[in-house]
A and B are shown apart, each in its own frame.
Chain A
């Protein structure tokens, strides 16, 4: 299963765009046990507002370890990857 972010939003800049991606990711993670591939093809960057909603809010339903096991992020950039890892790790530390 590949979720191509660009198919749902034009960019990863705002919390509104994050909300749309969050709903898609949450549905897919809840409906199956398999890993999900998330592609950032065509997207350069992601803001904290986007990542906080699209990815960090998944921690309300899934553990950090679970997300690391089941989310494979491809066609991405260093900036996007660092933002996802940093925001998830910090929030996971805060709730641990």
Chain B
């Protein structure tokens, strides 16, 4: 019997790919196949969340014993070249499609990294790279750095795998940065239902970001990481955070100084959790590198 084929959409982002993931799950309802083919023929445009989301979906399939294959991947097409430059194919098929493909200056390429290594990567790679691109002090990015550290700590606290994927894209003309982080663990709704059994996926994601809410997988986990993320990105920077997990997508935005969630239910399926952070570069407060004393 031929391997099942999943046709990828023309627009490649978290929203469209969650529908793809739902198709994949439907395809696996009688058990995970040995191989599943992704068809890139229609691919026309890729957003950063699409890179991480598809990568996460493939990692999740791999965990369930399904190998991914790729067809119609012509690196002369811009969208496929973008994926190849992101090192997507190198990570998932062992080599780049084209020798000439290389990570772009505007990105930190797709990286699968353990929590214990993530903090050093952020300090030695992410912060210096972004500070140089934006021509600002590294200290101006410390709060953003902690937001991502918090996500990797959550991955370690809430999943069995201790590994996440990250991809970063700077859009100079849009004055923005997109950071996508994903894990292929149980997902936020399933973790929240361990504490609140009947809660819907979207409500579970909204509940999970409340300061002090925790599934307490570790005594030290006091549930402040996602609250800190929303404070820094949505309230201070006036950026957006989108959470894809289970059968819901929740977008958090700044509505007159308040974090406002917009819940989209039954929009597809997201294995594990993918979090898309959009930062505005024009609202980053520049801070001096000088050390300071805490003033109570």
Contacts and interface: CB of A to CB of B under 8 A. Distances in A.
Interface stretch (B49-57, B194-202, B287-295): B287-295
A5 interface: no
Tell me which of B153, B221, B222, B228 has the highest count of chain A C-beta atoms within 10 A of its own C-beta: B222
Contacts of A48: 150, 222, 224-225, 228
Tell me which of A11, A15, A53 has the highest count of chain B C-beta atoms within 10 A of its own C-beta: A15
Contacts of A49: 150, 153, 220-221, 224-225
Contacts of B149: 13, 45, 47
Tell me which of B119, B127, B295 has the highest count of chain A C-beta atoms within 10 A of its own C-beta: B119
Nearest to B228: A48
A54 to B, nearest CB: 10
A94 B222 CA distance: 13
A45 to B, nearest CB: 5
Interface residues of B, number: 29
Interface string A40-61: 1100111111001100100000
Contacts of A80: 294
Contact of B294 (A45, A73, A90): A73
Interface stretch (B63-71, B140-148, B166-174): B140-148
A85 interface: yes
Given A13-B119, A83-B146, A77 B220 contact: no
B211 A78 contact: no
Nearest to A65: B296
B80 to A, nearest CB: 37
A45 B211 CA distance: 20
**Secondary structure dominating the interface of A:** helix
B245 interface: no
Nearest to B142: A79
Interface in B205-240: 211-212, 218, 220-222, 224-225, 228
Contact of B143 (A13, A73, A79): A79
A47 B292 contact: no
Contacts of A81: 292, 294-295
Given A72-B293, A75-B291, A56 B142 contact: no
Contacts of B224: 48-49, 52, 87
Contact of A76 (B119, B218, B291): B291
B153 A13 contact: yes
Interface string B252-296: 000000000000000000000000000000000001000111111
B46 interface: no
B123 interface: yes
A28 interface: no
A76 B287 CA distance: 13
A45 B146 CA distance: 7
B142 A76 contact: no
The 8 lowest CB-CB distance pairs between A and B, nearest first, are: A15-B220, A73-B294, A48-B224, A79-B142, A13-B119, A81-B294, A68-B296, A52-B222
Given A48-B225, A49-B220, 4 more contacts: A49-B224, A56-B222, A76-B292, A94-B212
Interface of A: 11, 13-15, 18-19, 40-41, 44-49, 52-53, 56, 68, 72-85, 87, 90, 94
27 contacts: A13-B119, A13-B153, A15-B220, A40-B291, A44-B138, A44-B145, A45-B149, A46-B146, A47-B153, A48-B150, A48-B222, A49-B225, A53-B220, A56-B222, A72-B294, A73-B293, A74-B293, A77-B291, A78-B287, A78-B292, A79-B143, A79-B146, A81-B294, A81-B295, A83-B146, A85-B294, A94-B212
